[in-house]
Amino acid sequence: QKEVEQNSGPLSVPEGAIASLNCTYSDRGSQSFFWYRQYSGKSPELIMSIYSNGDKEDGRFTAQLNKASQYVSLLIRDSQPSDSATYLCAVKDETGGFKTIFGAGTRLFVKA
Amino acid sequence: DAGVIQSPRHEVTEMGQEVTLRCKPISGHDYLFWYRQTMMRGLELLIYFNNNVPIDDSGMPEDRFSAKMPNASFSTLKIQPSEPRDSAVYFCASSPGNSGANVLTFGAGSRLTVL
C-alpha cells in the first residue's frame, strides 16, 4: 500500500523563523507532489506543487523535492502567526487513475 | 466562481438513519472526489468520478456507502444505515484534470455526527 509519511508535530517556531516541514513517500514512481494547508475547521487548500527535483519558490514558501531519497519538504521563511495550520503532504498515485494520497499532516504553531 | 459547494455543512443523526451529502463541483472540472477526514485515519479517498463516471471506489468502506454523479454539476454520497463510526468530515473536491496533474479544490466539508 502506497504511503505518505509526515511527522504529526506539533512543530513550534517563533515568529520570523524558518519552519521546515518534511514528508517521505513510498512509491518510487511518483511524479507529482503537493503541499496543502488546512486551518482548523477549514478545508485543505493548495499552496505548492512540485514535479521536478530541486527547489521551487513561491513567495515565502519553498518546496524541495529529492526523488532519489523519496523526500519532499516545505520551507516557510519569515513565519507568521497566520501560518499556524496543519500542512498536508500529498502525492499523486501514478499507477493509473487520478488518485492523490495524503499524509496525516504536520501541525505548525508560529509563536508571536 | 463560487468554488466547490457542499451541503449540509453539519449533520447530526441517529444510528440507523440514512444520510445524504451533496456536492456541486466547479464548472468545467472533469474530476470529482469524495474524501473522509478523521483524526485517526487522516484524509482518505472514498471514490472519484471522471466525466460523471465512477472510476475508483476502492476506498468506500462498505456497502452502506454509495455515491452517484447524475450530471456534471451534482454528486451525492449516501450512507444507509449510518453508524457512529461514520462520524467524520466529508470533503468533496474537484479537479480540471489537465496536464496529468491532480490539483484539487476542496469544498468546505460536511461534518457528520452519528449518535
Confidence bin at A2 (pLDDT 50/70/90)? confident
CA B7 – CA B31 distance, rounded (Å) = 19
Report DSSP state, residue B26: P
Taking CB atoms and an 8 Å limit, are A98 and B103 in contact across chains?
A: no
Query: What does the pLDDT average to over A28-35?
Result: 92
**pLDDT (0 to 100) of residue B99:** 62
Grid cell 466539508 in the structure block, residue: B109
Q: Measured between alpha carbons, how far is B44 from A100 in angstroms, rounded to an integer?
A: 9
* Nearest alpha-carbon partner for B14 in B109, B92, B83, B96: B83
Could you give the count of Cα atoms lying within 13 Å of A10 in the half-sphere of its Cβ? 10
Residues 6-35 of B with CB under 8 A from A: 31, 33
Block means of pLDDT (10 residues each) for chain B, length 115 residues? 93 97 95 95 94 93 94 97 97 83 90 98
For the beta carbon of residue A9, count every other beta carbon within 10 angstroms: 15
The secondary structure element, H or E, covering residue B37 is strand B31-38
So what's the pLDDT on residue B62? Answer: 85
CB atoms within 10 A of CB B26: 18
CB contact under 8 A, A88 and B107: no
Each residue's pLDDT tens digit, B99-112: 656 789 999 999 99
| Phi, psi dihedral angles at B85 (to 5 degrees) | -70, -5
Length of chain B: 115
Residue A67: pLDDT over 60: yes
Residue B101 is predicted with a pLDDT of: 60
Residue A80 has a CB neighbour count (10 Å cut-off) of 13
Which chain B residues are Cβ-neighbours of A46 within 8 angstroms? 103-105
Q: How far is CA B84 from CA B13, B36, B40, B102, in A?
A: 9, 14, 14, 32
> Average pLDDT, stretch A60-64?
97
Check CB contact of B109 with chain A, cutoff 8 Å: yes
Beta strands in A1-112 (DSSP E): 4-6, 11-14, 19-25, 33-38, 45-50, 54-58, 61-66, 71-76, 85-92, 100-102, 106-111
A101: closest CA among B59, B83, B114, B62?
Answer: B59
| B58: closest chain A residue by CA | A99
